[in-house]
């Protein structure tokens, strides 16, 4: 079946009725937003999840009577698009092929892609078209991009506010950096998409005469165990003036230091071999050690000089051992044999010289052995978490290594005997431009000061107050607030808004997207041409958002009529705060937390966001979606093959909020079939006058009320999978039972009832599968639109508990009959059912009351029953009590309560209903007797085993 025409038809209707356009009115409002997309590719099914969740939320609230605003914008800010444009300019075939085959971009469009904005514009339209096709109930009059001039004014205003409050600060920060592009690099900017991560090393300055021989280490605390330095004799070292000292370092190191803002002047060279045998002074220790040769030392790593701690560093131990073996080759080092490892860390499970232990364990015999890496890793982590410094480490003695490391580092740094070096972890990382990346210390970088303690405190307290779904995310937010530090908020390249006070910087993408929800409430006026963005500046936003300033003045300043200005302000005040912000899980540690922080900083409390709803990601056939796996399905392709509603349901039904949703073809097919069946059914049940209600009709209506109640609660908690489960599946099994009952009775008058039932269901399905719901709604013969119908309200009064109990009794008895037939394998000829005697019913009611009251002691129950003349007959059958108590205990609280409320049900009457079912299913007649009926047919003496809700059965 082709959904396209159906989707088109209803989309047109919604559009004609301007259903999703929201303007302030007298109703209560509900403002729901989703993070706007970054348009550097078409959206795929994974992107659809958050939007679909938000759309269901919006549609549900709309049907519940709220004036719902659900807007959408496009986030052009950022650098990846710049990178893409550059690759197009360079004729990167990999990317261009992806555009052609994967994204199906027309050839002539790709040609324009050398201009970044064209890429954004193209995918912007592509994504928007997909959103419309998916049926998202968005008010498109409020659309914008983050490079629109009016938006730029808005962001400038935001940053000035933050700066006024002292939340924007300047500082120095290390970043991964491309020397050619003169720009920080992120994962998107590198060849092979490697995240350029780096580690901070402590550089310890050893003195060689007037020179400094610096060594880079991760373990400054081991300075107490240094026995020598290592240089590579084959390396030609540089002598360079570094700031005011003369350092001997590898040339690679000199380059690195240059990016770390050191002033480097080369003054000469010295070979490693020349240094061998010389002595250096160890800082903080009144001691001198030799410089020795080692081949494992690489000039590209650290400073090219290594401090040797043989007791705790396997490389050092092995190199020293190797050297001693050929001591004769080094006559200029007289006392090589005297160099002994100095043990300074005590760790459980290791002896005096831990490095020796590890080396022997792994069978390492020389310094070229690659297993040395493994040895180093093992020992480092064991000593770091479990080791303590020994007596010979002065005031650090007995401290655990993890703590001592930081203290020793600070101590040496404070004494001017150390420095800091950053080193890329992955070795060589190449920028997309081909240049090798480095770590650069950026000066005068602008930061948002998320480490500000008052700001943090405010964020914590609001996080604890606001609604967060699912609840477990609340902790995560609090944790993020704790570890969040200053965050760079400006870059030197990329699309976006310039920093208002320093136009060399562009405000970074995660910082210009934190309060834009407010912008939705006013951008409508700019899009309609009622406000000209050109000369807008701060006093405008102050007036609208903060109610600061004078109406008269602002009006004349911007040449906006006073009434217009007032209605802009009123619109903001009507819609704000955001009632629900939907987002993927990945945005918790960044965007969503910033969103909270910034709202708290800029707006008064009444405008702080009310609720955040976080969802997991989408898997494709159980696997993560990725370009390299080739399992990315563009959303619009999927809509064409499966239909929008099937996709919406498949995404929603496969997982609850936080779980990853698995999108698989089979599930979609199943859903599609279900929807098609629903449409077929819809035409069968037109509105009709109902006959007087039979038992099963009352039951069906009761179940409907219960389902409405359950589904509504589930949606309110955003447990959409659960809600769909009720609306789609539980509902179905109820209808099936109903049809079975009605058909067994050969009824022909149930269409009117089913029409009502199905219409209610279709209305409830409408937020989830809007197109199918509209189509089914009209096929059922209903007027208007399903999406405009009010959300069904459960009416307690329509629940007939007796009919619910009776039908349950029928189902249970039918199950028992089936069971008996299965076990005995007999072909039934005749069936007889016996209901329990009156005294048993009384006893049952009493037991029920007692058990509900918490008394499950069989002895006391029996006593009290015997004491009562109505139930004294229990003496004859004491086993009855035990069985009944078990019956009751194995029931749910709900069912017990309802039995309590209903009192005794006339089982004989109820079970007579079974006759038609038995006849149609087994083709035999059913007789129902009371246990006490003297004229009953009971050849096998079964009747006496009857219990309330558990009639005796005889099958012959």
Partner RNA sequence: GCGGGAGUUGCCAAGCCUGGUCAAAGGCGCAGGGCUUAGGACCCUGUCUUUUAGGAGUUCGUGGGUUCAAAUCCCACCUCCCGCACCA
Near RNA in 328-387, by CB under 7 A: 385
Per DSSP bridges, beta strands 580-584 and 29-34 are parallel
Is the distance from CB of 801 to CB of 693 less than 8 angstroms?
no
118 binds RNA (CB under 7 A): no
Near RNA in 852-881, by CB under 7 A: 854, 856
* Closest CB to RNA among residues 223, 918: 918
Near RNA in 753-772, by CB under 7 A: none
Among 176, 225, 770, 792, binds RNA (CB under 7 A): 176
Among 332, 427, 453, 485, binds RNA (CB under 7 A): 485
Size of the site for RNA (CB under 7 A): 87
Which of these ranges, 55-63, 550-558, 813-821, 863-871, lies near RNA under the rule CB under 7 A? 813-821
Shortest distance, CB of residue 441 to RNA, whole angstroms?
12
Report the alpha-carbon distance of residue 448 to residue 138 in Å, rounded.
Answer: 32
* Closest CB to RNA among residues 262, 710: 710
Nearest to 220 by CA among 492, 436, 46, 420: 420
Spell out the residues 6+ positions from residue 370 whose beta carbon is closer than 8 angstroms to its own. Answer: none
840 binds RNA (CB under 7 A): no
281 binds RNA (CB under 7 A): no
Shortest distance, CB of residue 116 to RNA, whole angstroms?
12
Near RNA in 650-689, by CB under 7 A: 654-656, 658-659, 662, 666-667, 670, 673, 677
* Closest CB to RNA among residues 274, 656: 656
Shortest distance, CB of residue 53 to RNA, whole angstroms?
15
Nearest to 743 by CA among 907, 908, 921: 921
From residue 298 to residue 317, the character string flagging contacts with RNA as x (rule: CB under 7 A) and all else as - is --------------------
Which of these ranges, 7-15, 242-250, 269-277, 811-819, lies near RNA under the rule CB under 7 A? 811-819
Shortest distance, CB of residue 837 to RNA, whole angstroms?
14
From residue 433 to residue 452, the character string flagging contacts with RNA as x (rule: CB under 7 A) and all else as - is -----------------x--
Near RNA in 578-607, by CB under 7 A: 586-587, 589-591
Shortest distance, CB of residue 473 to RNA, whole angstroms?
7
Shortest distance, CB of residue 941 to RNA, whole angstroms?
11
Spell out the residues 6+ positions from residue 939 whose beta carbon is closer than 8 angstroms to its own. Answer: 954
From residue 606 to residue 645, the character string flagging contacts with RNA as x (rule: CB under 7 A) and all else as - is ----------------x-----------------------
179 binds RNA (CB under 7 A): no
Q: What is the DSSP letter of 102?
A: I
818 binds RNA (CB under 7 A): yes
CA 234 vs CA 250, 280, 490: distances in Å: 11, 20, 44
Which of these ranges, 187-195, 262-270, 311-319, 869-877, lies near RNA under the rule CB under 7 A? 187-195
Near RNA in 56-115, by CB under 7 A: 75, 77-80
Per DSSP bridges, beta strands 506-507 and 490-491 are antiparallel
What length is written for the chain? 956
Near RNA in 217-246, by CB under 7 A: none
Among 57, 256, 432, 487, binds RNA (CB under 7 A): 487
42 binds RNA (CB under 7 A): no
* Closest CB to RNA among residues 329, 825: 825
Shortest distance, CB of residue 812 to RNA, whole angstroms?
8
* Closest CB to RNA among residues 415, 857: 857
486 binds RNA (CB under 7 A): yes
Cis status of the peptide bond prior to 764, with omega within 30 of 0: no
Report the alpha-carbon distance of residue 182 to residue 423 in Å, rounded.
Answer: 18
Nearest to 875 by CA among 843, 848, 838: 843
Place of tokens 């009251």: 853
Shortest distance, CB of residue 586 to RNA, whole angstroms?
6
Report the alpha-carbon distance of residue 84 to residue 693 in Å, rounded.
Answer: 68
Which of these ranges, 298-306, 334-342, 538-546, 938-946, lies near RNA under the rule CB under 7 A? 938-946
Per DSSP bridges, beta strands 580-584 and 611-615 are parallel
Ordered alpha helix ranges (H), 203-250:
none
State the DSSP H helix or E strand holding residue 67, giving kind and residue range, or none if neither.
strand 67-69
CA 458 vs CA 327, 449, 479: distances in Å: 66, 14, 14
Shortest distance, CB of residue 181 to RNA, whole angstroms?
11
Report the alpha-carbon distance of residue 357 to residue 645 in Å, rounded.
Answer: 64
Is the distance from CB of 77 to CB of 116 less than 8 angstroms?
no
* Closest CB to RNA among residues 227, 452: 452
Nearest to 723 by CA among 686, 756, 761: 761
Among 53, 138, 226, 484, binds RNA (CB under 7 A): 484
945 binds RNA (CB under 7 A): yes
Q: What is the DSSP letter of 210?
A: T
Near RNA in 391-410, by CB under 7 A: none
Mapping DSSP onto H, E and C, the string for 876-936 reads HCCHHHHHHHHHHHCCCHHHHHHHHHHCCCCHHHHHHCHHHHHHHHHCCCEEEEECCCCCC
Near RNA in 692-731, by CB under 7 A: 722, 725, 729
CA angle 586, 589, 595 (to 5 degrees): 100
Nearest to 559 by CA among 578, 532, 584, 586: 532
820 binds RNA (CB under 7 A): yes
Near RNA in 22-41, by CB under 7 A: 38, 40
């Amino acid at each position: 079946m082709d959904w396209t025409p159906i989707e088109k038809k209803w989309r047109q209707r919604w559009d004609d009725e301007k259903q999703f356009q929201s303007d302030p009115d007298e109703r209560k409002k509900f403002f729901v937003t989703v993070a706007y997309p970054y348009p550097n590719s078409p959206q795929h099914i994974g992107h659809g999840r958050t939007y679909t969740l938000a759309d269901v939320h919006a549609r549900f609230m709309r049907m519940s009577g709220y004036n719902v605003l659900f807007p959408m914008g496009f986030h052009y800010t950022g650098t990846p698009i710049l990178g893409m444009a550059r690759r197009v300019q360079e004729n990167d075939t990999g990317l261009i092929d992806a555009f052609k085959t994967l994204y199906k971009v027309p050839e002539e469009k790709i040609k324009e892609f050398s201009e970044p904005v064209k890429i954004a514009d193209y995918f912007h339209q592509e994504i928007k078209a997909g959103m419309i096709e998916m049926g998202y109930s968005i008010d498109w009059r409020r659309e914008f991009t983050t490079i629109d001039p009016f938006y730029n004014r808005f962001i400038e205003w935001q940053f000035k506010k933050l700066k006024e409050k002292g939340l924007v600060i300047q500082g120095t920060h290390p970043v991964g950096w491309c020397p050619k592009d003169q720009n920080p690099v992120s994962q998107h900017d590198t060849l092979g998409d490697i995240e350029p991560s780096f580690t901070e090393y402590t550089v310890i300055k050893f003195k060689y005469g007037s020179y400094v021989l610096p060594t880079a280490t991760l373990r400054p605390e081991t300075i107490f165990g240094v026995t020598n330095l290592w240089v590579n004799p084959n390396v030609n070292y540089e002598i360079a003036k570094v700031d005011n000292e003369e350092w001997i370092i590898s040339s690679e190191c000199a380059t690195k230091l240059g990016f770390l803002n050191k002033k480097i002047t080369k003054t000469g060279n010295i070979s490693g071999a020349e240094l061998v045998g010389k002595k250096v002074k160890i800082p903080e220790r009144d001691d001198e050690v030799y410089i020795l040769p080692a081949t494992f030392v690489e000039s590209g790593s650290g400073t090219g000089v290594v401090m040797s701690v043989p007791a705790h560093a396997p490389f050092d131990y092995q190199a020293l051992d190797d050297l001693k073996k050929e001591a004769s080759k080094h006559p200029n080092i007289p006392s090589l044999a005297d160099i002994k490892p100095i043990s300074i860390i005590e760790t459980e499970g290791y002896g005096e010289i831990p490095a020796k232990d590890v080396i022997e364990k792994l069978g390492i015999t020389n310094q070229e052995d690659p297993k040395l890496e493994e040895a180093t890793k093992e020992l480092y982590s064991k000593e770091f978490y479990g080791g303590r410094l020994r007596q010979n480490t002065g005031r650090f003695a007995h401290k655990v290594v993890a703590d001592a490391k930081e203290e020793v580092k600070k101590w040496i740094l404070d004494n001017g005997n150390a420095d800091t070096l950053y080193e890329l972890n992955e070795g060589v990382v190449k920028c997309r431009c081909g240049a090798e990346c480095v770590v650069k210390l950026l000066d005068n970088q602008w930061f948002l000061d998320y480490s500000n303690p008052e700001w943090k405190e405010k964020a914590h307290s609001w996080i604890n107050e606001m609604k967060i779904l699912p609840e477990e995310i609340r902790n995560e937010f609090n944790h993020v607030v704790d570890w969040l530090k200053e965050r760079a908020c400006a870059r030197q390249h990329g699309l976006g808004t310039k920093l208002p006070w320093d136009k060399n910087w562009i405000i970074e993408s995660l910082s210009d997207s934190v309060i834009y929800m407010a912008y939705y409430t006013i951008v409508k006026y700019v899009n309609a041409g009622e406000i000209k963005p050109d000369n807008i500046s701060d006093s405008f936003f102050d007036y609208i958002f903060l109610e600061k300033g004078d109406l008269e003045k602002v009006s004349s300043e911007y040449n906006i009529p006073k009434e217009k200005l007032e209605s802009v302000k009123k619109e903001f005040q009507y819609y704000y705060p955001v009632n629900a912000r939907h987002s993927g899980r990945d945005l918790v540690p960044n965007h969503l937390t910033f969103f909270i922080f910034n709202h708290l900083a800029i707006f008064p409390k009444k405008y702080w966001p009310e609720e955040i709803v976080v969802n997991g990601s989408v898997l494709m056939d159980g696997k993560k979606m990725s370009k390299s796996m080739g399992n990315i399905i563009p959303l619009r392709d999927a809509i064409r093959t499966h239909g929008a509603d099937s996709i919406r349901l498949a995404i929603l039904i496969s997982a609850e909020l936080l779980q990853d949703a698995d999108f698989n073809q089979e599930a979609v097919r199943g859903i599609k079939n279900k929807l098609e069946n629903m449409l077929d059914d819809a035409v069968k049940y037109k509105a009709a006058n109902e006959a007087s209600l039979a038992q099963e009709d009352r039951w069906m209506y009761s179940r409907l009320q219960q389902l409405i109640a359950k589904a509504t609660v589930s949606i309110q908690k955003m447990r959409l999978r659960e809600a769909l489960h009720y609306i789609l599946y539980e509902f179905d099994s109820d209808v099936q039972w109903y049809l079975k009952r009605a058909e067994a009775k050969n009824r022909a008058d149930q269409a009117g009832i089913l029409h009502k039932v199905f219409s209610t269901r279709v209305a409830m399905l409408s937020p989830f599968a809007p197109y199918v719901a509209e189509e089914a709604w009209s096929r059922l013969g209903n007027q208007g639109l399903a999406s405009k119908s009010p959300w069904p309200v459960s009416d307690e009064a329509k629940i007939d508990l007796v009919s619910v109990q009776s039908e349950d009794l029928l189902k249970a008895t039918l199950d028992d009959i089936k069971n008996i037939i299965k076990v005995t394998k007999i072909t039934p000829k005749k069936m007889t059912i016996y209901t329990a005697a009156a005294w048993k019913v009384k006893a049952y009611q009493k037991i029920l009351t007692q058990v509900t009251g918490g008394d499950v002691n069989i002895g006391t129950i029996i006593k009290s029953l015997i004491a009562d003349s109505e139930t004294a007959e229990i003496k004859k059958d004491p086993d009855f009590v035990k069985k009944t108590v078990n019956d009751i205990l194995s029931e749910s609280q709900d069912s017990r309560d309802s039995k309590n409320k209903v009192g005794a049900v006339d089982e004989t009457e109820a079970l007579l209903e079974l006759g038609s079912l038995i006849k149609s299913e087994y083709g035999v007649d059913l007789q129902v007797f009371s246990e006490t009926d003297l004229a009953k047919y009971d050849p096998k003496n079964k009747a006496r085993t009857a219990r309330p809700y558990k009639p005796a059965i005889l099958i012959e």
